[in-house]
Amino acid sequence: MTEPISISFIADDKDSVSEITSKISVVMDADGKMNPLTRKVNSLMRGALKRLAESERWEKLDSGEAVEMPMPERMQAPSVQVVKLARNATHGDSRDAGAAMAAFAGGQDCTLLLSSHPKSVTITEGAALRSYAFCVHKSAKADAPGGLTVMVSDPDTTRSAAAGPLAVAAGVLFTRDLVNEPANVLTTTEFAKRLLAMRDLGLEVEVLDEPELEKLGMGSLLSVGQGSASPSKVAVMRWNGGGDEAPFALVGKGVVFDTGGISLKPAAGMEDMTMDMGGAAVVSGVMRALALRKARANVVGVVGLVENMPDGMATRPGDIVTSMKGDTIEVINTDAEGRLVLADILWYTQEKYAPKGMVDLATLTGAIMVALGHHTAGVFSNDDALCKGFLKAADATGEAAWRMPLGKAYDKKIDCKFADMKNTGGRMAGSITAAQFLQRFVKPDTPWIHLDIAGVAAPGPTKLSPKGATGWGVRALDRLIAEQFEG
């Protein structure tokens, strides 16, 4: 597992700035205003920062962007980075500034001279998120990554305030690791093993194996994994920080590799289907974050872990399977498998835990990428209040999301002649008909959101993440829980 970068907070010390041997990052307002530590660097560099602030190059920079100044005079630091950031900068610009600092550090030691900047915590969060690198399978082992030293006027207060965001960042990194792992490493068994290890954090974790799933009647989920040597599993994680209240539920699709099954995908790009367990990875990351920050809420995370492979036992197009709910489903296309997994675990979650609300996440459809690209996730909901709360949390964390429609007209597209429903309504409105399918497994009195994250799970690099998995959704869902379900 990729460990979060080491971050330490120390008190302002202008006299030590010239002796710092690591890279240095400073912040400066658009108009050239400087905090005491930046002024010290400017003095040591004989007014170079002041001249930069008066230049056309500085004027053209966006907030959160930076200029690197190598080999600064009268300093031991090999390079100084100057980040354009006002004291009243937005949270998004402040996170971007921290990410720019981490990219500048490049895995080496770096000292951030933030002094009394009011967005020091958010800057540090951005740096922690961007410092991630997935190198576990590289044969040439890199040196141990450097750490970040954050020089601030009140290190104790800043350290305490940053503890929660850094715990959430650790959850994001856990999600990224899961998504980035190849399928020969992250089998269904290995995925479950990594979740069981989170018992050490205080989570209750239970793994249901195929005999138990058969007993529960999860014929829909089990049909997906019939052609794989990897056994299908359902993992349940519980964080009990909210007393006797009913839990809030997170439900995730965990297809560790998706060939499409008998409806085989084209070879080009199939290697990307290691990320088809992105929904389960986000649920797992949120649960880790809640445990690390000791959230005052009851939350249950349920993930269905399967592999969709073609062999003589695999489900065929035209097969009819029976869900845990009792509804029958004709499998028109075995590549529309994620909804078959979610159908059973959505029903199981409601029957077992009667949650006060429920969010499912899945890398579900290519159609959502056609609609929204790689920047924005699709949001479908039966409850305006819960949906509004999530969209607010997503906006606050900079995780773009857009509400999509539901409606009976779309529902007709999955009606079926030979079974209660079919598992795909065709190409037109594909993400919407997938959501309509899932809604049939949501009880009318359960507030519910479906997040189609096919476009946002692994489109990196982004400002906050390198190439590969982004961990989209961990921060937004953690904020939703903090704002709406913590006492």
What is the average pLDDT across 140-161? 90
> Please, are residues 414 and 340 in contact by the beta-carbon 8 Å criterion?
no
- List CB contacts of 212: < 8 A, sequence separation 6 or more: none
Return mean pLDDT, the chain.
Answer: 97
Q: Which two tokens stand for residue 402?
A: 């857009």
Secondary structure letter of residue 83 according to DSSP: E
- Looking at the predicted structure, is the pLDDT value of residue 4 above 90? no
Same topology between domain 7-153 and domain 170-484: no
Q: What is the pLDDT of residue 145?
A: 78
Nearest to 423 by CA among 267, 284, 315: 315
Q: Within its chain, how far is the Cα of 136 from the centroid?
A: 20
Confidence band (pLDDT; 50, 70, 90) for 141?
A: low
Separation CA 52–CA 219 (nearest Å): 65
What is the average pLDDT across 136-156? 87
Separation CA 352–CA 63 (nearest Å): 48
Confidence band (pLDDT; 50, 70, 90) for 143?
A: low
Confidence band (pLDDT; 50, 70, 90) for 2?
A: confident
Which position among 339, 463, 475, 479 bears the catalytic label?
339
Active site residue 265: yes
What is the average pLDDT across 455-475? 95
Question: Strand (E) positions, 281-356?
Answer: 298-308, 320-322, 328-330
Nearest to 388 by CA among 404, 367, 403, 407: 403
Q: How far is CA 93 from CA 100, 201, 385, in A?
A: 10, 32, 28
Q: What is the pLDDT of residue 446?
A: 98
- Confirm or reject CATH 3.30.420.10 for domain 170-484, answering yes or no: no
Which position among 14, 39, 194, 265 bears the catalytic label?
265
Nearest to 424 by CA among 330, 346, 345, 360: 330
The pLDDT tens digits of the residues spanning 95-124 come to: 999 999 999 999 999 999 999 999 999 999
Separation CA 43–CA 37 (nearest Å): 10
The pLDDT tens digits of the residues spanning 308-324 come to: 999 999 999 999 999 99
Q: What is the pLDDT of residue 291?
A: 98
Active site residue 339: yes
Q: What is the pLDDT of residue 453?
A: 98
What is the average pLDDT across 426-441? 97
Q: Which two tokens stand for residue 277?
A: 């367990």
- List CB contacts of 24: < 8 A, sequence separation 6 or more: 17, 41, 72, 75, 77, 79, 80, 81, 110, 111, 113
Q: What is the pLDDT of residue 142?
A: 64
Strand (E) or helix (H) holding 422 = strand 421-422
Give domain limits for the chain.
Answer: 7-153, 170-484
The pLDDT tens digits of the residues spanning 439-454 come to: 999 999 999 999 999 9
Q: Which two tokens stand for residue 465?
A: 């993440």
Question: Strand (E) positions, 71-211?
Answer: 79-84, 110-115, 148-152, 204-208
DSSP labels, 246-271? PPEEEEEEEEEEE--TTSPPPSTTGG
* Correct CATH for 7-153 of 3.30.530.20, 3.40.220.10, 3.50.50.60, 3.10.20.70: 3.40.220.10
Q: What is the pLDDT of residue 138?
A: 86
Confidence band (pLDDT; 50, 70, 90) for 478?
A: very high
The pLDDT tens digits of the residues spanning 228-273 come to: 999 999 999 999 999 999 999 999 999 999 999 999 999 999 999 9
The pLDDT tens digits of the residues spanning 362-398 come to: 999 999 999 999 999 999 999 999 999 999 999 999 9
Q: What is the pTM of this model?
A: 0.97
